[in-house]
């Protein structure tokens, strides 16, 4: 009788909300659409319809997807007992916003333009407050330790003008925060998800850095601590051919993301496939918890499913808009 039932209401409500997720049939209809207009018409019949109506043109479908995600996050926030669960999911958007704002400022200093349209409202910190804090250089009230991270990034830029270094510091802050928040909650599944996410990010970075021809000493700062696989182990793979990575990592779950590595002729195609494999791997980590009626990890599972749904929609709509081959689009879809 030690099983906690605190999440009985939450998980049940999420089960009800799962009925609003798009069925595979909808994705099939989207894929069968001749052009973007007909795809948008199909999407209008789904819960995304109300947001599509608000957009002035079909090309603004990304705003409609973002609005639906924001609606889901806001709704979930109201009844999830532990805010850490949705903080973890929304933190990447905060970091994205900081990157957009900082790059805009750095760009402007060099005579370029700022891209405020790339900001998203999906972060934990309201966009207006973040813009105000960064533009006025008044970082004191920024949450999650951003009041230390942002000035550090500005300082790095002032000294080195190295945008990769700035991105690395922000990514490091993201994963440290996720590890910290997960560590404060008594849910092993959440910690497992965060660890797996860091492992997956390290594998993604490994493939990218290998393609860019980085050597181990240069690449080391781009890997993040906190995963199940030690950074040293991942770093050592940089000198190995990518076909053998899965074998070297066979002791870790994340090796599943590389199961098709041997089918690829080069790193370019591996990297494209890796994006899908990583998302499917993380979906698999969380899917285990759907069989538990009271597991708090179901919150992460639902939010992750919604994120994957949004990602699939973006892939399909951008692909259809650009006249991409449907079989290519089908291969890019996650978990459908």
Partner 1 sequence: MDQLGIMLAVLGAALAAGFAGSGSAIGVGIAGESGAGIMTEDPGKFGLVLLLQALPGTQGIYGLLTAFFAILKVGLLGGDAVSVNVWQGLGVLFACLPIAIAGYYSGIAQGKTSAACIQMIAKRPEETGKAVILPAMVETYAVLALLMSIILLNSIQF
Binding residues vs partner 1 (CB under 8 A): 1, 3, 5, 8-19, 79, 293-294
Which among 169, 231, 170, 221 is positioned nearest to 198, based on CA atoms? Answer: 231
Q: Least CB distance from residue 3 to partner 1, whole Å?
A: 7
Q: Least CB distance from residue 191 to partner 1, whole Å?
A: 24
Q: Least CB distance from residue 19 to partner 1, whole Å?
A: 7
Residue 168 phi/psi, 5-degree rounding, is -65, -45
Between 256 and 301, name the residue whose CB sits nearer to partner 1. 301
Q: Return the HEC string of 139-174.
A: CCCCCCCHHHHHHHHHHHHHHHCCHHHHHHHHHHHH
**Which DSSP category does 228 fall into?**
S
Between 14 and 31, name the residue whose CB sits nearer to partner 1. 14
Between 8 and 183, name the residue whose CB sits nearer to partner 1. 8
Residues in contact with 138: Cβ distance below 8 Å, sequence separation at least 6, in sequence order:
132
Which among 32, 33, 68 is positioned nearest to 53, based on CA atoms? Answer: 68
Between 12 and 250, name the residue whose CB sits nearer to partner 1. 12
How far apart CA 202 and CA 208 sit, in angstroms, is 10
Distances (CA, A) of 226 to 44, 56, 165, 191, 214: 42, 44, 19, 10, 22
Between 18 and 167, name the residue whose CB sits nearer to partner 1. 18
Q: Least CB distance from residue 124 to partner 1, whole Å?
A: 24
Q: Least CB distance from residue 7 to partner 1, whole Å?
A: 9
Q: Least CB distance from residue 15 to partner 1, whole Å?
A: 4
What is the per-residue burial (b if ≥16 Cβ within 10 Å, else e) of 98-122?
bbbbbbbebeeeeeeeeeeeebbbb
Between 81 and 126, name the residue whose CB sits nearer to partner 1. 81
Between 4 and 250, name the residue whose CB sits nearer to partner 1. 4
Q: Least CB distance from residue 69 to partner 1, whole Å?
A: 18
């Amino acid at each position: 009788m030690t099983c906690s039932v605190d999440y009985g209401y939450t998980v049940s409500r999420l089960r009800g909300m799962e009925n609003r997720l798009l069925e595979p049939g909808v994705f099939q209809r989207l894929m069968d659409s001749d052009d973007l207009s007909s795809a948008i018409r199909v999407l209008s019949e789904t819960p995304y319809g109300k947001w599509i109506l608000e957009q002035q043109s079909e090309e603004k479908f990304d705003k409609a997807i973002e609005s639906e995600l924001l609606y889901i996050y806001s709704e979930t926030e109201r009844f999830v007992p532990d805010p850490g669960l949705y903080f973890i999911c929304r933190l990447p958007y905060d970091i994205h916003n900081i990157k957009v704002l900082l790059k805009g400022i750095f760009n402007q200093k060099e005579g370029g333009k700022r891209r405020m349209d790339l900001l998203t409202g999906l972060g934990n910190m309201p966009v207006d407050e973040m813009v105000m804090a960064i533009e006025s250089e008044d970082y004191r009230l920024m949450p999650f330790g951003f009041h230390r991270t942002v000035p550090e990034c500005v300082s790095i830029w002032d000294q080195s003008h190295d945008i990769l270094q700035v991105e690395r510091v922000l990514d490091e802050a993201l994963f440290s925060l996720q590890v910290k928040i997960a560590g404060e909650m008594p849910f092993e599944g959440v910690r497992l998800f965060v660890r797996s996410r860091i492992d997956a990010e390290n594998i993604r970075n490994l493939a990218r850095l290998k393609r860019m021809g980085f050597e181990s000493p240069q690449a080391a700062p781009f890997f993040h601590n906190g995963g199940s696989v030690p950074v040293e182990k991942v770093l050592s793979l940089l000198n190995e051919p990518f076909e053998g990575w899965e074998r070297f990592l066979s002791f870790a779950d994340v090796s599943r993301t590389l199961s098709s590595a041997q089918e690829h002729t080069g790193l370019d195609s591996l990297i494209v496939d890796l994006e899908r494999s990583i998302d499917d791997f993380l979906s698999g980590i969380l899917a285990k918890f759907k069989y538990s009626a009271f597991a708090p990890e179901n919150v992460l599972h639902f939010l992750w499913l919604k994120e994957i749904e949004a990602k699939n929609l973006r892939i399909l709509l951008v692909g259809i808009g650009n006249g991409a081959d449907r079989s290519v689009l089908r291969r890019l879809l996650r978990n459908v």
